Amino acid sequence: MKEYAFSHEEQSRQTQAIPEIDILWITAGLSCDGDTIAMTAATQPSIEEILLGGIPWIPKVRLHNPFLTYDNGAEFMEHFYSAAAGKLSPFILVIEGSIPDETNKKEGYWASFGTDAKSGQPILTCDWIDQLAPKAWAVVAAGTCAAYGGIHAMAGNPTGCMGLPDYLGWEWKSHAGIPIVCVPGCPVQPDNFMETLLYLLNMATGRAPMIPLDDALRPRWLFGQTVHEGCDRGGYYEQAQFADSYGSVQCIVKLGCWGPVVQCNVGKRGWMSGIGGCPNVGGICIGCTMPGFPDKFMPFMDQPPGSLLSSNAVATYGKAIHALRRFTQASMNKEPSWRGLRHTA
């Protein structure tokens, strides 16, 4: 897997301590706003801990998100206009939702945010990104739509939409030398996003090295392992105990789980405060953190083609191992023969 290498100049540019920072969060891509709503469940850290100064050493943070801020209307938009005019800096730009291709039609538009003061016309989401990305200290894609296009970018959709790396370029870097940071998931696992944000905030004060990203621009420590490697049902897979209907505790690969090849930590981390996590609670993994989602994982609920081979291979020894373990288990469930002699004498 490719690792991004950074020059000494890039490292020193991003280690100049930043005492305060704004987060400008635009949900006006093609989005369902699910990633913003997911943030309200974050605990490691929570939004409140970040915003109220509950975590030492990071900059003071001001969050501008249409759902999570007290500002309304013009008061809310003013932060974005100021940033576009170069009057608000430094800031982290967060994009939620996929970015449409506004050049693929003769009239109308796909997505906008706010209005132009002079013309009164909507400002396209693309234009905001064009204006703000070059001025941002870092740019973060929240959720799979913003990262890779996601559901809105399915084959046949009329918008021609895409993720931030396709829009800005995969090699794009902020003026601080930071690549686009993608935190995928549909929606993003709340703590994955907040932990990434916390990492960036530590970078902003020079307390963390450049964020390590994989070749899909995901934080490597969060997306380096598969769902399968952290799944509660892994023991059943190994023993070739495959469920053929929902409601079973066994492995659900034959019901359509893609966990063995999908990079996601939800099996280990759970969803909210460690609770949940798709296969752990009976839901097949449909690959929502992957650049190929959703097209390459469809039709959902069909057994993944590759797993036919692997589950058949496991079945050749898994059932025998399971039987041997039950035999050993039965023995271990009995006390050693030298105990209890008083009653057998």
| Footprint of ligand SF4 (CB under 6 A) | 31-32, 34-35, 96-97, 143-145, 150-151, 185-187, 227-228, 231, 233-234, 237, 251-253, 257, 259-260, 262, 264, 266, 278-279, 285-289
Nearer to ligand SF4, 35 or 214 (CB): 35
* Contacts of 316 by beta carbon, 8 Å cutoff, 6+ apart: none
Nearer of residues 23 and 285 to ligand SF4, judged by Cβ: 285
Query: CA 212 to CA 124: how far, in whole Å?
Result: 32
**b/e per residue, 236-268, with b = 16+ CB within 10 A?**
bbebbbbbeeeeeebbbbbbbbbbbbbbbbbbe
Minimum Å gap between C-beta 260 and ligand SF4 is: 5
Nearest distance, CB of residue 341 and ligand SF4, angstroms: 44
Which token pair is 196? Answer: 């990434």
**Residue nearest ligand SF4, Cβ-based:** 259
Toward ligand SF4, which CB reaches closer, 186 or 203? 186
**What is the closest distance, in whole angstroms, from the C-beta atom of residue 268 to ligand SF4 in the complex?**
10
Could you tell me the smallest distance in angstroms from the CB atom of residue 22 to ligand SF4?
22
Q: One-letter amino acid identity for 226?
A: T
Which lies closer to ligand SF4 via its Cβ, residue 85 or residue 313? Answer: 313
The DSSP-derived string for 99-155 is: B--TTSSSS--S-EEEE-TTT-PEEEHHHHHHHHGGG-SEEEEESHHHHH-GGGG-T
- Decide whether 113 or 137 has the Cβ nearer to ligand SF4: 113
Q: How far is the CB of 172 from ligand SF4 (least distance, A)?
A: 20
Considering the complex, state which of residue 212 and residue 235 has its C-beta at the smaller distance from ligand SF4. Answer: 235
Per-residue exposure over 201-216, b if at least 16 CB sit within 10 Å of its own CB, e if not: bbbbbeebebbebbeb
Shortest spacing between CB 305 and ligand SF4, in angstroms: 14
First to last CA, the chain: 67
